[in-house]
A and B are shown apart, each in its own frame.
Chain A
């Protein structure tokens, strides 16, 4: 007997909506999740990602739309009838029960025979490597261990879908990296679908098969980590994915998507991402792509710089008062004048009204 997810084909969210005191906390979420997929809901705080998760769990009622598990409509089921697993941000371990009882709780509620419960709990304990601590109370173990108990408790009932609400946000940086790998390992092993809520794009990029970027309760972009990293669909998504320089510019010429823009006194080439932009555009580029080069078009003075081990990251200001984040292989000093430039394929151009 091994723990493995129940068989199903897909989970469908159909125009899912949630109003909250006259406000649209969640608008028109439509998404199909296949069995075994790892989905990250990514967005800044207040973007509606936790609301979306709670709606899926049944902890919040929908205001409109529906949720389907294959052919069964499930949005009118109570949380206890949906059979999903959930890992809470604060773990929500029952403080009065031993780890063993915590993990076995779901099976007990399903009225499974005691020998089945014991065997499954033992297996889950081994899976999260906590067999030795099994009889302790949650208050007697460390945060990382509590996290693993919470995961074991959620998956031991073999749910088709596991919901995770920022499960790593209470852990320190080192533990977070370890647990990231652990979560992905367990996901692969039991073959469930996972929906993982986070505000940390590194976490989303490294864990997910697909990322859903939410903002103001709306889906801004759905795609693989690589798609999101290389080609954010909108300026705000770009900003969230690490495009720290969002520069207002004026489009001059365009050929096959390649634009030449005027940026104050400088000229910069880039590629249009958003169709139908006007003259006013926004050029997005990562600090690591903006470097001092001999014929760099943007002339700026270094304001500050910090050493990051292999290279330097800094802030420079043009004569027009534009602030730019850049990277440099060589040491730079405040006041030093630089010519900054970036390869055209790394400069993404969006419609100007968005910013």
Chain B
């Protein structure tokens, strides 16, 4: 950027890009090896498989009951999206618009599920769910996945709501709108872009979130990522290609969600929530 750069500066820049390139190259290799293997007939000690086939996909479909797993995944994701919207949007509105005693404490309560890794609170959470007979059920899986999703929606929406001029609401009140009318007719339309962004991100995260489903699901209500874990864990029972076919199905599902998400949001938001959290 500056007018000139000496040899040291150029070497440094070259080194930085070399590291990025090396990382991306290996990342591509990791992903490509899964895809190639899932399409190969047999692959052992060569650069590429001997031949190509798609039958591992039908194998995986029947062998892992992928249909059922996908259905569970979509049910969980759908319910989590709905639940986190119903719980998160009003809460985000209240937090963005009101100052009240103990607000910092409430914020802290909402931040904790986001920054504490799921494995740390997953075991006690699973114990509580089992205590109420929800362990191993679809409802239990949904409730567990809602725990980080509700705060996630809140923290994405709070700054979004704060930037909407409160005078818009004041104007609506002047024209006689009650709280509910105001919310439904004024705020929700204004907030729609932010809500959509938050919910698509919840979708991406729910499909990818392993730990909570792993700790709370029973055999009949595993999501895709948990089913994938078990099949990799028990490698040897089935052909690797079949596992890779399942991995590709998982990958394609997540990537589709990711592409949809990226249409709505900046990628840094997917991990960048911490900055917003810290701002409060």
Contacts and interface: CB of A to CB of B under 8 A. Distances in A.
A and B: direct contact (Cβ < 8 Å)? yes
Interface of A: 55, 58-62, 75-79
Contacts of B3: 55, 58-62, 75-79
21 contacts: A55-B3, A58-B2, A58-B3, A58-B4, A59-B1, A59-B2, A59-B3, A60-B1, A60-B3, A61-B2, A61-B3, A61-B4, A76-B3, A76-B4, A77-B3, A77-B4, A78-B2, A78-B3, A78-B4, A78-B5, A79-B2
Q: Which of B2, B3, B4 has the most CB of A within 10 A?
A: B3
B3 to A, nearest CB: 4
Contacts of A61: 2-4
A77 B4 CA distance: 7
| CB-CB nearest 4 A-B residue pairs | A58-B3, A61-B3, A76-B4, A78-B4
Interface residues of B, number: 5
Q: Main secondary structure on chain B at its contact with chain A?
A: loop
Given A58-B4, A60-B1, A75-B3, 14 more contacts: A58-B2, A58-B3, A59-B1, A59-B3, A60-B3, A61-B3, A61-B4, A62-B3, A76-B3, A77-B3, A77-B4, A78-B3, A78-B4, A79-B3
Contacts of A78: 2-5
Contacts of A58: 2-4
Contacts of A77: 3-4
Nearest to B6: A78
Nearest to A58: B3
A77 B6 CA distance: 10
Interface in B3-27: 3-5
Nearest to B5: A78
A55 B5 CA distance: 15
Contacts of A75: 3
A77 B5 CA distance: 9
Contacts of B5: 78
A78 B2 CA distance: 7
Contacts of B4: 58, 61, 76-78
B187 to A, nearest CB: 34
Nearest to A54: B3
Nearest to A67: B3
Contacts of B2: 58-59, 61, 78-79
A82 to B, nearest CB: 9
Interface string B231-242: 000000000000
A77 B3 CA distance: 7
A61 B5 CA distance: 10
Contacts of A76: 3-4
A279 to B, nearest CB: 48
A61 B3 CA distance: 4
A76 B2 CA distance: 10
A42 to B, nearest CB: 24
Contacts of A79: 2-3
A62 B3 CA distance: 7
Nearest to A60: B3
A74 to B, nearest CB: 9
Most chain B beta-carbon contacts within 10 A, residue among A76, A77, A78, A79:
A78
A58 B5 CA distance: 11
B104 to A, nearest CB: 22
A52 to B, nearest CB: 14
Contacts of B1: 59-60
A55 B4 CA distance: 11
A62 to B, nearest CB: 7
A61 B9 CA distance: 15
